[in-house]
Structure 1
Amino acid sequence: MAEKGSGNMGNNSSGDAVPGRTEQILCQPCSSKDKQTVADVFCSTCDEFQCMDCSNIHKTYAFMKNHKLVKAKDIKEKPVSFDMKGLDQCDEHQKVLKFFCEDENQLCCSTCAIVDHRKCHSVVEIQKIAGRSAPTRSKLKASLQDIREKAETVVKYTKSSKERLKQDVKEVSLKIRRMRDNVMKMFDDLEVSVAKDAESFKTETLEKLTKKQSDNEKHIADATKSLETIDNVHQNGTPSQQFIMEQSMKKQVDELSSNVDKECQRLKTVTISFDFDETLKLPPLSISDYIPGQLTLKYSVPEAVKPITPVDPIVKLTKVTSIDLKQTGDDAEEPLYSGLDFLPDGRLVTVDNKNKKCLIYNEKLEKVGSYQLSYLPQSVVAVSEEEVAITCGNGYKIDFLRVSKSNKLILIRTCKVKTKYESICMKDERYFVVGTQDDTRPVRIVSLSGEEKDFSINFPNKKYPRDTGGCTYIRNSDKVVLTDRYEHSIYIYDIKNKTRVVVKDDQIKEPRGVAVGPSDCILVCSENTNSIVQISSTGLFLSSYKLEMKYPYRVCVSKNKSIVAVTNSAKSEKKLQYFKVTY
């Protein structure tokens, strides 16, 4: 209930009214400041009696202009508070909140104040400080309005994006149909043009063949007539007549024979056909064998809208440990870690390409195990808690080593393969995903027993020489990630939907090693920007983290996604570093 006072400002209640005395209502905000001022209005939204000066705040803030103000004298009593729907109840004790702890900035019921805040210095009754809430209320409303506006913006552009996406999908079919119509028109025009030329050739050739046929039919008639003459003279003529006939026809027969011989020598069959170029593939072909195009997905932010915090969490890296990689007594050259991966227990396994070694590091980056290889190792992956697989940079095999809890490494088996493999990661419990060297199939699948097969998607017909491409696999979404060093590009292939996303950015220069991080984000070593780039699994550029090392080369993430290991390839400045992952 609002406070009431007599004309001399003394407190009084309606039950204590005295004849001849005027009852006045005091301004609540002023009362909270120990100042007694007569209230002029009552605001039902603020739930307060206010003097004219205090009520002017309604003219200051736009969101308060709709508050309903009535004259204080028209209201005998402050309206009963409306149902707070549990907001004024203590969650722990189910009592009305009557106190506020200013030390801990927390609302309290009577039990909370006594039990939990008895040692606090400033626990006050809410009723006494309620008048201070106007600025807080203003901030809350301003924040909520801002939240609502941002959410409305998201809804607006989401609707727009949905419509655009629907239209784009329709346009894909329309584009193919237009292309089909253009191709059909091209074939129609080709048919008309070729038929015209063929008809012209046919007409000209038929004239020649008809004349040839006519000439030889005349030769047949002449020869037939001469045979009849010979037979008739031979049967009925005198020997003298027969002699004369033979002599006179000899020249005619020789000429006729010569003409027919010439015709026989020039005898040939005339045909006509039309063949397509060998480079043009024609049906019948399965569409999976030959797709004359590529479906590309692209994400872009509307220019009119400032980017809102992305749904994908941005990984923050904090350096924990770093060591310099120096040439030791048993090293032939300065180390180059061309592959690294975490074991499930947190140990790091690496392969030194230059010195043909497999090494084990503990969580403090202390070298605790080493194994001498007979070849140049290229990459390594943890297969299980005590097994790793290593690809051979200059041969056709994958070696499997056992890693004991005491950090001893033993070669347990070798799988022969038909392709040179560089990068390697796990696809699932039975298969690897491997990046190839100098092969038109840049990424392939290899079983743990060495059986090789291809993905059911058309990769670009491009060969990647050693150290120009790296790959990894996102198991949750069945996507293959491929880096192209000299194209400064990252390709994300959706195997299930047979689509591809191309990621390019000014902060991506010569991408090298790649790994899958928290929330299936993609972490890439950007060599010429000396940074780790983070990309979402859908191809959205999220962030870039500058490293204190030159030419980052390889990256891997611990199984619990809490630690990232990075190594580099800078001559005489090689490092191996651990980073803690936060958000």
Structure 2
Amino acid sequence: MAETDDKKVLKMSLICSICLQKLNKPRSLPCFHTFCESCLKNYLVNAPEKKNATKEGIPCPTCKLVTFSPKPALPVEQWSEHFPMNHLVGTLIDIVPVSSRLEFCEPCKDNKESKIARSWCQQCSEALCEECAKCHMSMKATKNHVITPLENVRSNPKPAVKEEVVCYDHNKKEVDMYCQDHEQPCCPMCIATNHRKCEKIAQINDVVQKQQPVDHTKLFKDMDRLITDADSVKRERQEVMRTTLMQKTKMLKDISEAKKKLIDHIEKIESQITAKFEAISQTDFAILQEQVDYCNSVQSAMHHSKTAIQSAKEQQLQKKEFIVAQQGKVKYNECASGLKKIHENSAKIKYLFEEDRQVAETLGALGMLGKLDVKHSYPNKKPPTPPPPPTPIAEEDDEKKATRKIKTFNAKVKGDKRECKITAIKLWNNKKILLADNSNVRLKLFGEFGDLLVVFGCNSPPWDLTFIDKAKCAVTFPNERKIRIFKVKENISEVGYVNASRGCNGICMAGDDLAVTFASGCIRVIALDGTVKMMVDTDYIGKRVFSNPEFIAFNPFSYHLFVSDYNNHTVTALKFDNGKVDKTPLFVYKVSGPRGVSVDARGNLHVCGFWSNDIHKVKDDGQFSQILMDTLARPLCIAFTGDGEKFALSEQGNPNNVKLYKIIPASDVEDY
């Protein structure tokens, strides 16, 4: 008896729509569709949306409704285990008999489609879906075929299914003959081709009726033995496949590693010479651009003066004509003097590269790509009269200091893809050194002897950092417009952040607040909770104070903020009091391209002169004290220990080196 439609629907609801088998450990999604736990796990792991699954979810396999993790912290691989078990479906599976095997429509298989069969054609011995069954009944050649519901065939196969066997050699030809000479069942095509001369050909039904019941025990034993032999051969062949694949994998890996060694060697020496060239060319182009900009300003000033004089003359304004003419003369003299200096310092630059002979001989012996030679010639320059050095101010409470290098270590570590650019250094607890590597987008913690302790990879390049307390530091990320807070102990871990709303550069602790510089030309006082207490972008008369403030330092003894302005070649001192900054500068100290600034234990300011290649020591009142160091290679940043006896610095000209120095009295230099 055929099943009712309701019963068919019930049975189909117990089938997994992924594997099309009886549900095993049924798990329900929020949209109430149910799947096998293993099928659901496989689907989630291989879904294209897996990469952003936590944020965007994964669509249901049936209705495509977006599904999210039952527990947000779980990886996608564990989602299926935490979706609720469908106990109702599990109970129905135990009660309602469901065939564990589904039949698929044979015609649809030929068209590379998978549709569940509902019917069975007895003449064609084919399972058919609903659409193919209708088509089968409408075709002239098959409309008289008997179509039976597939459930009836399963429950009562003998009367419903026609007893026939299809010939192996001639597809869809029924085997209904038997050749007694060869003891072989045949179809009509076999008789016509291979058994034409055989004499004992009979209907297979007659042969079956005449023969006695046959015991197939021996045949089954022979078959079982052959199955065992085949399995043994299969396992042996599979083991050969496995070992061969392992050998292939190892050989390919060895070839790849050999190739990688050669490529890494070439890339390493290439990066060394290109980094050196980039550093030199950047310096040259910066100087050239400054000279071009000055020439443009001279042209603009002269055109403006000429226009003003001619306009006053045409309007017969004698007084105005006299004034602007005098002003024009003064401006002319200034511009002529500046242009003369530019002309004298107009270098002709010639970059030379000579390929190393070892490149042509062998890559294995390759030590360098070639010799880099840069020559600067100044054909128009006259020997200048050197300006007198700044006059040191006598120090009443502190004798003259000298420096002695105690350590240089390489900050480039495993995993760095570029030459380092150390934009911030902090000497932590006088024994550890924390660096911000802007080029390799990393924070690095070293021991006092230069041994690497921790590397923390950031999402964007860090610029400057300051310690909030003994265990926490704040780091500026200009591209993210954020100040991130990190806990620094044995490891480095992020514990929070502050939105800066625009690109932030330098940072320092000023009392209980953060003082931050911005590329837009201002500084802000920001509380640790993110509240902006004050912004300084102009002075007391409304003029803009800063052009490109990069670094900032705080003197806790006098409550002074020192801001280095790279474009204006100045370090500006501002008074800080209770979260407020006095816009009137205390003093402006001029340095050629100031970068990093730091305050030592006695309150002295130290400035990295990027273009002058030296370190200026400046008293808290803005008076020059001494050149602490010279002959440096584009110093970037400097930091002192808490006791002021040691300091560390980085240079753009020596990008990977961090140098440690000890400050000693000049009278003790010979004893050192």
TM-score normalised by L of structure 2 = 0.37
Report the structure number with the largest CA radius of gyration: 1
